[in-house]
Chains A and B, each alone.
Chain A
Amino acid sequence: MSGPSLMDSLFQRTLEDLIKGLRQQLIGEQAFISKALEEIRKEIKSTDLSTKSTALLKLSYLSSLHFHDMSFATFHALEVLSSPRFSHKKIAYHGISLSFHDSTPVLLLITNHLRKDLTSTNEFEVSLSLQCLSRIANVDLARDLTPEVFILLSSNKLYVRKKAIAVVLRVFEKYPDSVRVCFKRLVENLENSDPQILSAVVGVFCELACKDARSYLPLAPEFYKILVNSKNNWILIKVLKIFTKLASLEPRLAKRVVEPICDHMRRTGAKSLLFECVQTVVTSLSEYDSAVRLAVGKIREFLVDEDPNLKYLGLRALSIVAPKHLWAVSENKEVVIKSLSDADPNIKIGSLRLVMAMVSEHSVAEISRVLVNYALKSDPEFCNEILGSILSTCSRNLYEIIVDFDWYVSLLGEMSKIPHCQKGEEIENQLIDIGMRVKDVRPELVHVSRDLLIDPALLGNTFLHRVLSAAAWASGEYVEFSRNPLELMEALLQPRTCLLPPHIRAIYIQSAFKVLVFCLSTYLMQWGSTASSASPDNLRSGVSASVSYESFDNLSVENGADATVTRGQTYTSASITNESILNLLNLVELALGPLFESPDVEVQERARNVLGFIDLTKLELLNSSVQGEKDLERRGVECSKTIELMHDAFSKELGPVSLSAQGKVYLPDGLMLVENLVGMEMICADIEPPSSNLFSFGIPYEEKDGVSFSNLQIEADSEESNEATSLLAEHRKRHGLYYLPLGKSEIISNDYPPANDPTLQGNINDNADDLVKLTEESLVPKRKSNHAKPRPVVVKLDEVDAKPVGVKKAEYKDDSLSGAVRDFLYGMKDMVPTSSQSNLPGKASSKRKGKEKQHTDPHVETKGNLVDYGNPSSRRRKHRSHGKERKHRSAREKNAEEREDTGQKEKEKSSYCHGRHKSRQRAEEPLNVSAQTTVIPDFLL
């Protein structure tokens, strides 16, 4: 073994060689590395520690910078660790902290090495092992090495002590019972004058307080002292962080610290400390107006600073203030808006958030306009960021900030035309949602939809397809508001629609169907009115039929001067003539004919529906238009009946459906979902394979149309609705698979509800009373002139739309660490109950002693305990049993403890701090004492 060892050590590549070699490899770096790794594998087995350690060093290099696995060397690292040489130890510790983790098998073997080094006389060795422990500590290591760390906590070498303090954090985390041993010494270190020690202790408490601040409330006096006395910015920042946590828990504490914090804010020149003060004020002290004003002033300085860092932080601080003090944002409005065009995306997003926080009912139009302009100019990513935040802000709480829905709908249309817009889905949802919820907006919605549909360029943009599907749906559903249905039809059937994905195309066709039915029925009505102009009764009935679309009377667009002409007709009547109807029918046939053979089942089915309908009516329509007046009346009756029926089917208004509506649907008798699942093959053989879009909103609805249509063909005069209902039920039974499971409505919740589903209909109507609600917003007085219109009604479903009121309060985390800390802190007080309770106003001096005693007595006691432990092994055993005992205790008493927590602890805390509080008060203003004793004592001195 000595031969190769010598060769190895003489000709071994050093780390420098390795690095140099690596740098010379322009290509084939991987090959070089694997060769080096091979060498390392050999060298690391060498018995010579220098060779071994060099190999380990090279390996750590490759592991940390080239991410090669070094787990094979964990045992060798331990071997190097046993070397007496400092340089070897250093390399070994470095390698270990780089590669060890909780499940490393040799972790058990390191305990003794660490213990040896922790008790070494060489402070650098102690430091190395502490550093390593801080990285690799697990439960066992933390438990076994607690005694050593405890001793180091009061080491007289500051260098070691500060590291031990930092390591305690990890030890506590891994092994909470160590709190009972170490916590007192940790607290003692809070009184240390050395800034490095203090910084370390405060850092530990800062981390601890982040997890569970309440446990550390009793230490507030110590922190307060540091806050007032320390001149070290590193420490002050940490203390401020602690107070941010504590002050939000204890208002009296907030009152105490607000002044010192403001002092720091005024005095300090360091931006980091200043920012920390600002952050503390805006997060936890936002009730103190003067402090907030001061902080906002500082934020303003940050905002106008050249440094982008300060600007960013200023914006962030503002966004923390915004919810409680909106004035702070509006005061800095210009800067915020200007930051929207900043070069830095982070700043832009920050300012966007703030701008959105400023949005109110009155400003929403103005702000949205500004933002849309920014969106037009900015890069795609930020553009969508802007659009997304406009959409989410405006739709918040059922569009509560929107008064003018016409404006909002046209804004949605405008937004979807922005070139980079990728928010199609969201816009789609909102368009449909608004269409269903807000009746008054429908004419504008149809108008906007028309503008979108008619533009052939938009069809090429895949991001817009979703918007277009919403537009198509809206224009079909609310076609009665269309100024020119024929034009709409052309738009819906334009050749470029072949660019759409099938499921959206199906919606297009369905909408075309609705438009067609509408045109025909309008035409028939017109024709009926001219034909029977002699008999006004007839006309009346024809008119009233078309008025049966509700909502016409809500329109403010036309003020129908002529009583006999309905407003609905004023939109359309002029354009529909005999000829145009024929053209229309031809157009539909031409456009949908090729789709007869469409591979997509949905498109095909809908196309067939429309064409079948045309087949049914066209002949009669043609005849009727060709033949004379008498014939016309007679022959027209049948087809007009068909058209009427279809028309009625479509004119039923769709409404928003409650999330739980599906659950209320009565489960049909004999419906066996499982059995049908078994018979899946049979169904599949029966029909064409279902496409994925079968779940889209139109399906049950569409199925009904299809079914009722075929039904019509057989017996045109039958009771359509009843038949359809039973057919649907049957269909549902047979294809139950494709319907939503009853009682579970989550899947459909975001989709369009199958509102025409007859089984649902009944429920909706039943619930209509509690479903429809007025929003209070419409009563709020408007300031802006352009809001002269009252806010339209927004239909709400109480079950669905009611926001969860008040998020469930975060449960008080009672993890073992904070439990231990609390036990400890309160236990400490119990030991000296007399000092705080025997406070008589006359004995000032003795009381002060008492207070000091309170501090020192328990220390002496525990120190005594620990010294008693004697040699390490017995100490550990004892300590363990101690831990067990505690575990038992805590398990048993946890409940009781928690119940008593609030009351008793509060009492303890206050009595504990009471003594101190008074003793200081006494020194300053002795007259106050008697008054102070009666009120609930403060947490501070």
Chain B
Amino acid sequence: MIHFVLLISRQGKVRLTKWYSTYTQKERTKVIRELSGVILTRGPKLCNFVEWRGFKVVYKRYASLYFCMCIDQDDNELEILEIIHHYVEILDRYFGSVCELDLIFNFHKAYYILDEILIAGELQESSKKTVARLIAAQDSLVETAKEQASSISNIIAQATK
């Protein structure tokens, strides 16, 4: 199973963290510091796997972002690479040629998309189309709610409460 997912920029800035196993806040910081030290220093033409504390970390760089997933010893690295690619493709489709800025400003959306792909550290949806549809449906739910909330009548109602 996947223990955590990290997105780290080339400069070592963390863009997304998702933990499927229990880590305290302190451990999280430590893990990220350690791993970014290992991964960011690796050259471009090396393999995408790092052995780390009895786990394996599979990472792949897309543009300026490193997508990292930590897995168990007997998990399949190539499968994880495909999951990472799957995620990137879905992000790309959702944001329209995604770039780091999209993820910076829509960090919660990146989470929601990830939540549709992985659950409890396992892949749950392998169809890009389905994920896109699900995300769109949830977005529209959120939008209608927002519209209601920000409508003038609502604000007035609140103000006069």
**A interface with B by C-beta (< 8 Å):** 2, 5-6, 9-10, 15-16, 19, 23, 48, 50, 57, 60-61, 63-67, 69, 85-88, 90-91, 94, 101-102, 124, 130-131, 134-135, 159, 162-163, 166-167, 169-170, 195-196, 199-200, 203-204, 207, 210, 232, 234, 237, 241, 244, 271-272, 275-276, 279, 308-309, 311-313, 343-347
Q: Using Cβ atoms and an 8 Å threshold, which residues of chain B touch A6?
A: 158-159
Q: Is B132 an interface residue (CB 8 A)?
A: no
Take A134-B120, A199-B123, A199-B126 as given contacts and tell me if A90 and B138 are in contact as well, using a CB distance cutoff of 8 Å. Answer: yes
Stretch at the interface among B48-56, B62-70, B90-98: B48-56
Q: Is B129 an interface residue (CB 8 A)?
A: no
Contact of A65 among B17, B127, B146 (CB under 8 A): B17
Q: Using Cβ atoms and an 8 Å threshold, which residues of chain A touch B159?
A: 2, 6
Contact of A347 among B47, B72, B130, B158 (CB under 8 A): B47
The distance from the CB of B53 to the nearest CB of chain A, in whole angstroms, is 15
Q: Is A5 in contact with B107, judged by CB distance below 8 angstroms? A: no
The distance from the CB of A753 to the nearest CB of chain B, in whole angstroms, is 36
Q: Is B79 in contact with A234, judged by CB distance below 8 angstroms? A: yes
Q: Using Cβ atoms and an 8 Å threshold, which residues of chain B touch A88?
A: 145
Contact of B47 among A16, A170, A275, A309 (CB under 8 A): A309
- Expressed in whole angstroms, the Cα–Cα distance for A85 and B143 within the complex equals 11
Chain B, residue nearest A20 (CB): B105
Q: Using Cβ atoms and an 8 Å threshold, which residues of chain B touch A15?
A: 107-108
Q: Is B78 in contact with A275, judged by CB distance below 8 angstroms? A: yes
- Expressed in whole angstroms, the Cα–Cα distance for A279 and B134 within the complex equals 35
Q: Is B115 an interface residue (CB 8 A)?
A: yes
Q: Is B79 in contact with A276, judged by CB distance below 8 angstroms? A: yes
The 6 A-B residue pairs with the shortest CB-CB distance in the complex, in nearest-first order: A272-B78, A308-B47, A344-B46, A134-B120, A87-B142, A312-B47
- Expressed in whole angstroms, the Cα–Cα distance for A718 and B134 within the complex equals 99
Q: Using Cβ atoms and an 8 Å threshold, which residues of chain B touch A94?
A: 108, 111-112
Q: Is B149 in contact with A85, judged by CB distance below 8 angstroms? A: yes
Contact of A196 among B20, B46, B79, B126 (CB under 8 A): B126
- Expressed in whole angstroms, the Cα–Cα distance for A730 and B93 within the complex equals 85
Chain A, residue nearest B149 (CB): A50
Number of residue pairs spanning A and B whose beta carbons lie under 8 angstroms apart: 152
Q: Using Cβ atoms and an 8 Å threshold, which residues of chain A touch B48?
A: 308-309
Q: Is B99 an interface residue (CB 8 A)?
A: no
Q: Is B108 in contact with A234, judged by CB distance below 8 angstroms? A: no
Q: Using Cβ atoms and an 8 Å threshold, which residues of chain B touch A170?
A: 120
Q: Using Cβ atoms and an 8 Å threshold, which residues of chain A touch B125?
A: 162, 196
The distance from the CB of A473 to the nearest CB of chain B, in whole angstroms, is 38
The distance from the CB of A433 to the nearest CB of chain B, in whole angstroms, is 31
Chain A, residue nearest B115 (CB): A131
Contact of A166 among B76, B124, B155 (CB under 8 A): B124
Q: Is A65 in contact with B120, judged by CB distance below 8 angstroms? A: no
Q: Using Cβ atoms and an 8 Å threshold, which residues of chain A touch B43?
A: 343-344
Q: Using Cβ atoms and an 8 Å threshold, which residues of chain A touch B153?
A: none
Contact of A67 among B28, B115, B141 (CB under 8 A): B28
Q: Using Cβ atoms and an 8 Å threshold, which residues of chain B touch A232?
A: 126
Q: Using Cβ atoms and an 8 Å threshold, which residues of chain A touch B81?
A: 272, 309
- Expressed in whole angstroms, the Cα–Cα distance for A272 and B48 within the complex equals 14
- Expressed in whole angstroms, the Cα–Cα distance for A87 and B130 within the complex equals 21
- Expressed in whole angstroms, the Cα–Cα distance for A102 and B107 within the complex equals 26
- Expressed in whole angstroms, the Cα–Cα distance for A196 and B125 within the complex equals 6
Q: Using Cβ atoms and an 8 Å threshold, which residues of chain B touch A271?
A: 78
Q: Is A86 in contact with B141, judged by CB distance below 8 angstroms? A: yes
- Expressed in whole angstroms, the Cα–Cα distance for A5 and B72 within the complex equals 48
Take A2-B161, A50-B149, A271-B78 as given contacts and tell me if A65 and B142 are in contact as well, using a CB distance cutoff of 8 Å. Answer: no
Q: Using Cβ atoms and an 8 Å threshold, which residues of chain B touch A210?
A: 72, 74
Q: Is B1 in contact with A162, judged by CB distance below 8 angstroms? A: no
Q: Is A67 in contact with B29, judged by CB distance below 8 angstroms? A: yes
Take A124-B141, A308-B46, A346-B46 as given contacts and tell me if A200 and B122 are in contact as well, using a CB distance cutoff of 8 Å. Answer: yes
Q: Using Cβ atoms and an 8 Å threshold, which residues of chain B touch A63?
A: 25
Further 9 A-B residue pairs, CB within 8 A, beyond A204-B122, A275-B77: A6-B159, A64-B107, A66-B14, A131-B119, A162-B124, A163-B119, A210-B74, A343-B45, A346-B47
- Expressed in whole angstroms, the Cα–Cα distance for A237 and B79 within the complex equals 8
Take A170-B120, A199-B126 as given contacts and tell me if A85 and B104 are in contact as well, using a CB distance cutoff of 8 Å. Answer: no
Q: Is A124 in contact with B122, judged by CB distance below 8 angstroms? A: no
- Expressed in whole angstroms, the Cα–Cα distance for A67 and B22 within the complex equals 15
Q: Is B15 an interface residue (CB 8 A)?
A: yes
Q: Is B76 in contact with A275, judged by CB distance below 8 angstroms? A: yes
Q: Is B138 in contact with A241, judged by CB distance below 8 angstroms? A: no
The distance from the CB of A659 to the nearest CB of chain B, in whole angstroms, is 30
Q: Is B16 an interface residue (CB 8 A)?
A: yes
Q: Is B1 in contact with A16, judged by CB distance below 8 angstroms? A: no
Contact of B124 among A61, A196, A241, A344 (CB under 8 A): A196
Take A102-B22, A308-B47 as given contacts and tell me if A163 and B142 are in contact as well, using a CB distance cutoff of 8 Å. Answer: no
Take A134-B120, A199-B126, A309-B81 as given contacts and tell me if A272 and B76 are in contact as well, using a CB distance cutoff of 8 Å. Answer: yes
Q: Using Cβ atoms and an 8 Å threshold, which residues of chain A touch B119?
A: 130-131, 134, 163, 166-167
Q: Is B82 in contact with A203, judged by CB distance below 8 angstroms? A: no
Q: Is B51 in contact with A346, judged by CB distance below 8 angstroms? A: yes
Q: Using Cβ atoms and an 8 Å threshold, which residues of chain A touch B141?
A: 86-87, 124
Take A64-B16, A241-B74 as given contacts and tell me if A203 and B46 are in contact as well, using a CB distance cutoff of 8 Å. Answer: no
- Expressed in whole angstroms, the Cα–Cα distance for A308 and B134 within the complex equals 36
Q: Is B104 in contact with A19, judged by CB distance below 8 angstroms? A: yes
Q: Is B146 in contact with A87, judged by CB distance below 8 angstroms? A: yes
- Expressed in whole angstroms, the Cα–Cα distance for A715 and B115 within the complex equals 89
Q: Using Cβ atoms and an 8 Å threshold, which residues of chain B touch A86?
A: 138, 141-142, 145
Most buried by A among B24, B122, B130, B149: B122
What are 23 residue pairs bridging A and B, where the CB atoms are less than 8 Å apart in the complex? A5-B158, A48-B158, A85-B145, A87-B141, A87-B146, A94-B111, A131-B115, A134-B119, A162-B125, A167-B119, A196-B124, A196-B125, A203-B123, A204-B122, A241-B76, A271-B78, A272-B76, A272-B81, A272-B82, A309-B48, A309-B78, A345-B46, A346-B49
The distance from the CB of B46 to the nearest CB of chain A, in whole angstroms, is 4
Q: Using Cβ atoms and an 8 Å threshold, which residues of chain B touch A207?
A: 1, 122
Q: Using Cβ atoms and an 8 Å threshold, which residues of chain A touch B146?
A: 87
Chain B, residue nearest A163 (CB): B119
Q: Using Cβ atoms and an 8 Å threshold, which residues of chain A touch B108?
A: 15, 57, 60-61, 91, 94
- Expressed in whole angstroms, the Cα–Cα distance for A345 and B124 within the complex equals 34
The distance from the CB of A678 to the nearest CB of chain B, in whole angstroms, is 44
Q: Is B79 in contact with A272, judged by CB distance below 8 angstroms? A: yes
Q: Is B25 in contact with A69, judged by CB distance below 8 angstroms? A: yes
Q: Is B45 in contact with A313, judged by CB distance below 8 angstroms? A: no
Chain B, residue nearest A240 (CB): B76
Q: Is B76 in contact with A276, judged by CB distance below 8 angstroms? A: yes
Q: Is B79 in contact with A101, judged by CB distance below 8 angstroms? A: no
Q: Using Cβ atoms and an 8 Å threshold, which residues of chain B touch A65?
A: 14-17, 107
Q: Using Cβ atoms and an 8 Å threshold, which residues of chain B touch A162?
A: 124-125
- Expressed in whole angstroms, the Cα–Cα distance for A364 and B99 within the complex equals 53
Q: Using Cβ atoms and an 8 Å threshold, which residues of chain B touch A344?
A: 43, 45-47
Q: Is A237 in contact with B76, judged by CB distance below 8 angstroms? A: yes
Chain B, residue nearest A101 (CB): B22
The distance from the CB of A351 to the nearest CB of chain B, in whole angstroms, is 12
Contact of A124 among B17, B105, B124, B137 (CB under 8 A): B137
Contact of B50 among A66, A241, A346 (CB under 8 A): A346
Chain B, residue nearest A71 (CB): B25
- Expressed in whole angstroms, the Cα–Cα distance for A6 and B161 within the complex equals 10
The distance from the CB of A513 to the nearest CB of chain B, in whole angstroms, is 49
The distance from the CB of B158 to the nearest CB of chain A, in whole angstroms, is 6
Q: Using Cβ atoms and an 8 Å threshold, which residues of chain A touch B47?
A: 308-309, 311-312, 344, 346-347
- Expressed in whole angstroms, the Cα–Cα distance for A276 and B25 within the complex equals 35
Q: Using Cβ atoms and an 8 Å threshold, which residues of chain A touch B145?
A: 85-88
Chain A, residue nearest B104 (CB): A19
